A and B are shown apart, each in its own frame.
Chain A
Amino acid sequence: MDTFSALMHGFSVATTIGNLGWCLLGVVLGTAIGVLPGIGPALTVALLLPVTYGMEPASAFIMFAGIYYGAMYGGSTTSILLNTPGESASIVTALDGHAMARQGRGAQALATAAIGSFVAGTIATAALTFVAPLMVKLALLFGPADYFALMVLALTTVTAVLGDSLSRGLASLLFGLALGLVGIDLQTGQARFTLGIPELLDGIDVVVVAVGLFAVGETLYTLARHRYENEEIYALKGSKWMDREDWRRSWRPWLRGTALGFPIGALPAGGSEIPTFLSYLTEKRLSKNPEEFGKGAIEAVAGPEAANNASAAGVLAPLLALGLPTSATAAIMLAAFQQYGIQPGPTLFDKQPELVWGLIASLYIGNLMLLVLNLPLAGVWVKVLAVPRPWLYAGILLFATMGAYTLNNNITDVVLLWIIGIIGFGMRCYDIPIAPCIVGLILGPLAEQQFRRALTISQGDATVFFTQPLSLSLLMIAAALVVLPMILRQRSKP
């Protein structure tokens, strides 16, 4: 089946009344929860995971696609109006977006973000449609050693690129990898680090870790900081629409942002932080008035928001085609697949074409729904922002508990949630990034599997990772990513 007819088949799956309903529900829930301050897409997806337990896989993933894109839209509203980015990818949006909101141009900032996200999302979804099958072909060439090297590369970028301290990033990554080891070793049946607790034999669920670190940790941190923070929401006033000048200044950044976001997001080592920063820098360089940047330049909202959404679609390419998550959100999506006993990767396209193509088709539909929802309803989402903090965060804890308890219907998961929440609070206090931990937790076991498989094939010869051209070059890129910034930093020192 060629790509186009596969996509058409996907649309026939996604446009049944039931699935359109799930998509709409996902989009609304995703936006509503994504708008809440301190909640980014990763947490939104993790919190809403239990809602999909009883559903058909295809419908569940169609809803997820809606939640994923919805949370991205919602997140930009929070960054613009409240200056509290829910995830690192919207930090850049917050810079100029919030400045625009302070000048009473919040509605225009929201509009350029929404339309830019739509443009970028649609183009990037189209690119995903054609890149993912190509990536599957590529993936078939990969042996275990190459897969392992690819995972090392992905883990390295998540760690080395985020945050400013490599040791803190590494600490987070290794902690995640350690959590991933808990449970029965599938190859030998040996229990590892279960502390004699039978519930731990199945391992620690990524949802518990994500919700613990993001929701519980974040709530406790907000509690500790609440007395010292002064939040101000800027109401939307005046014209809600972008004028001719706004359009003229926005459309090029949208396209450039998309061009940066998708390829970088689709790289097995991508993520969405780099393209948003790159887009910001590009727009600043190309702008006739770079001095406006940081003070409310519409280009600085349009470009990075487009880049952010395009990379969100890009991240799905390695996730679906290689089973390789490169962001915290993708890691949780992978967990959602595993919950249905589905392992994303090259075979997924053959075995579950309905699911994959239904999911991709619903991305197009969800994107359109979001545009329709977001432009006229911006005012409604602003009201969501105004929920008093005490009630909001107490509610987040309730939902977190619900998410953890309904995983296996036992208290152990909720106790774990509490412990991990305390650790998350500590990580927030010490500025230790959370994404490496989540990606490490989910990628660790997969990496170990490939590592052992590769060594079994080579009969214990560890040079196998360095003698095959593909795995060698991937490992060298990974090493360069760690070493180069260090050298550059050394040089810039007097």
Chain B
Amino acid sequence: MKRLLRPHNAELVPGVFCLGLGAYMLLDVWSKPGIATKAAVGPGLFPAIIGAGLAAVGAKLCHEAWRRRGQLEPFRELDLRAAFQGAIAFLVMILTLEWLGWVIAGSLMYATVAHAFGERRIGRSLALGLALTVVTWGLFDRVLDLALPVGTVVEQVLTHFGYEI
């Protein structure tokens, strides 16, 4: 990971991304059978233009990065571990959202992200997360009539104790 993120390699990332996306789009358009249409322009022309544009810009970005390699100012300091922790916490919440429900999954994510930011009082973060999720759940679900997931597990537990959701 470290080696990959060395300045001259890291600078290539946006270029390669655009190049790849552009190539994918062109291939996709090319592989689709033509649709018989009365309109002069089919559904493929615009994607082809944008795909070609992306590929061209990607090539340009790669070229720029390649030309400047070695003489780049060092990448701004980034604490990638913290960002990674935040991204994973967010992903875990998304994957458990419909299962654990908004309140539990949300509070756990809240505390983990706060921890990644350097907040060491986990109990406090959890309590705050709990308060925020409960209040927003109440507001959205009861007042604004928008559904936030209760969570299948939570529902089972609640029905077990005789509550109806």
Contact = CB atoms under 8 A, between A and B. Distances in A.
A244 to B, nearest CB: 45
Contacts of A399: 136
Interface string B1-35: 00000000001011001100110010010001001
Given A224-B79, A398-B110, A411-B94, A388 B119 contact: yes
B98 interface: yes
Contacts of A393: 113, 117
B93 interface: yes
A383 interface: no
B60 A394 contact: no
A401 B146 contact: no
B80 to A, nearest CB: 6
Nearest to A181: B47
Contacts of A458: 40
Given A168-B61, A181-B50, A459-B40, A175 B117 contact: no
Interface residues of B, number: 69
Interface in A427-486: 427, 429-430, 432, 444, 448, 451-452, 455-456, 458-460
Interface in B122-142: 125, 128-129, 132-133, 136, 140
A199 B85 CA distance: 28
Contact of B132 (A178, A388, A395, A414): A395
Contact of B47 (A193, A227, A426): A193
A190 B41 CA distance: 13
A175 B15 CA distance: 12
Given A188-B43, A225-B79, A397 B113 contact: yes
Contact of B125 (A394, A421, A432): A394
B94 A187 contact: no
A248 interface: no
A306 to B, nearest CB: 33
Interface in B37-53: 37, 39-43, 46-47, 50-51, 53
Contacts of A426: 13-14, 17
Most buried by B among A174, A177, A188: A174
B146 A53 contact: yes
A460 B40 contact: yes
Given A54-B145, A190-B32, A216-B90, A391 B125 contact: yes
Contacts, number: 193
Nearest to A413: B94
Contacts of B57: 167, 170-171, 174
Contacts of B133: 398
Contacts of B58: 171
B80 A224 contact: yes
Contacts of A401: 90, 93-94, 97, 106, 109
Contacts of A388: 119
Most buried by A among B51, B94, B144: B94
Given A175-B18, A175-B54, A405 B113 contact: no
A188 B106 contact: no
Contacts of B125: 390-391, 394
A391 B119 contact: yes
B135 to A, nearest CB: 11
Contact of A425 (B46, B50, B83, B146): B83
Given A224-B83, A426-B17, 8 more contacts: A54-B145, A220-B87, A224-B78, A226-B79, A227-B118, A394-B114, A425-B87, A456-B39
7 contacts: A174-B57, A192-B43, A192-B47, A223-B85, A228-B79, A391-B119, A459-B40
Interface of B: 11, 13-14, 17-18, 21-22, 25, 28, 32, 35, 37, 39-43, 46-47, 50-51, 53-54, 57-58, 60-61, 64, 75-80, 82-83, 85-87, 90-91, 93-94, 97-98, 106, 109-111, 113-119, 125, 128-129, 132-133, 136, 140, 144-149
Interface of A: 50-51, 53-54, 167-168, 170-171, 174-175, 177-178, 181, 185, 187-188, 190, 192-193, 216, 219-221, 223-228, 388-391, 393-395, 397-399, 401-402, 405-406, 409, 411, 414-415, 417-418, 421-422, 425-427, 429-430, 432, 444, 448, 451-452, 455-456, 458-460
